Amino acid sequence: MRRTMLYLPGNNPNMLTKGHLFGSDGVILDLEDAVAMVEKDAARILVSKYLKQGEFGSVEVTVRINGIDTEFWKKDLEAIVPMKRLDGIRAPKVDSAETVKILDEEISRLEDKYGVPQGKLKLFCLLETAKGILNAYEIATASPRIAAIIPGGEDLRADLKTERSMDGTELEWARRFVVFAGRAAGVDPLDTVFSRVTDDEGLRKETQFIKQLGFAGKSIIHPNQIRIIHDVFNPTEAEIAKAQKILAAAKEAAERGQGAVTVDGKMVDMPVVKRAEYVLVRAGLA
């Protein structure tokens, strides 16, 4: 599950040490925008050291490298690819399949060089420009490494020459498009960060909205955001009971040779069964 992926600034030993203890599904050790230019080299060394020696429990560990238009990205990859505890790479500002190919080739070269199984490292692509959003499907299908596509809301707002609103209207179309592209490609659509770290109600509302759109989870910047997002994504007891009732009724119907049946006055057919199964997957019961 990728309900929550917590950013840990790569130059902050305090956050790198305890970041995996808060209960998020993943952590993102950041070498890009959370790290000032003068700290880039120090952060790379620190992150590499944490991947080598640090304890991350069972969370999914990714590193956000710098963009391929910078002088840093190759050095970033060289420092992290050999490290056993790395599960994936979050690439910023991906705007075309060509960007994915460049990243893919370099990661493959380094996997070969360091004896890492080919394809072990997954790619999480941040789409942070209008061009990147429009190319979402070709990006999502550009390599078997792609695990997720993610709109980078803050950079995208800058590219769109708009501002952050309370309800995120300016991102609505991009979010819907990323969900369609991700689901069509069979990769996870993950949402961008919610920047108002003390606005719990705002976060809950936004999470309910993006879950309803079809996102699989959300990037986060503060540990306090984890509980709220899990609360929204985790099925309730009532949802679990309903899903179990639907699956039992559908099984009985199938045994009688019926494809559709009524449960509590509503039709249950194959798509409803699939959704019920997904509820149980999210509850960890399937």
Ligand X SMILES: CC(C)(COP(=O)(O)OP(=O)(O)OC[C@H]1O[C@@H](n2cnc3c(N)ncnc32)[C@H](O)[C@@H]1OP(=O)(O)O)[C@@H](O)C(=O)NCCC(=O)NCCSC(=O)C[C@@](O)(CC(=O)O)C(=O)O
Q: Which stretch binds ligand X (CB under 6 A): 191-199, 225-233, 259-267, 269-277?
A: 191-199
Q: Letter for the amino acid at 203? A: L
Torsion over CA: 224, 228, 230, 231 (sign): positive
Phi, psi of 225 (to 5 degrees): -80, -15
159 interacts with ligand X by CB under 6 A: no
Contact between 8 and ligand X (CB under 6 A)?
yes
Beta carbons within 10 angstroms of residue 120's beta carbon:
14
Angle at 155 between CA 193 and CA 66, to 5 degrees: 90
Regarding beta strands 60-64 and 26-30, do their DSSP bridges make them parallel or antiparallel, or are they unpaired? parallel
109 marked as part of a ligand binding site? no
- Residue 155 makes contact with ligand X by CB under 6 A: yes
Task: Tell which positions 222-251 bind ligand X, by CB under 6 A.
Answer: 222-223
- Shortest spacing between CB 11 and ligand X, in angstroms: 10
Residue 171 near ligand X by CB under 6 A: no
Residues in contact with Mg ion by the rule CB under 5 A: 128, 152, 155
174 near ligand X, rule: CB under 6 A: no
Q: Which amino acid is residue 253, in one-letter code?
A: A
Find the shortest distance in angstroms from Cβ 5 to ligand X.
8
Q: Calculate helix-pair angle for 73-80, 97-113, nearest 10 degrees.
A: 40
CB of 154 to ligand X, least distance (A): 3
From the list 1, 13, 33, 245, which residue makes contact with ligand X (rule: CB under 6 A)?
33
In the structure encoding, which two tokens stand for residue 15, read together? 């956050």
**Closer to ligand X by Cβ: residue 95 or 155:** 155
- Do 200 and 229 touch, CB atoms closer than 8 A? no
Token representation of residue 213: 């759109």
The binding site for ligand X (CB under 6 A) comprises 6-9, 14-15, 19, 30, 33-34, 126, 128, 150, 152-155, 192-193, 197, 219, 221-223
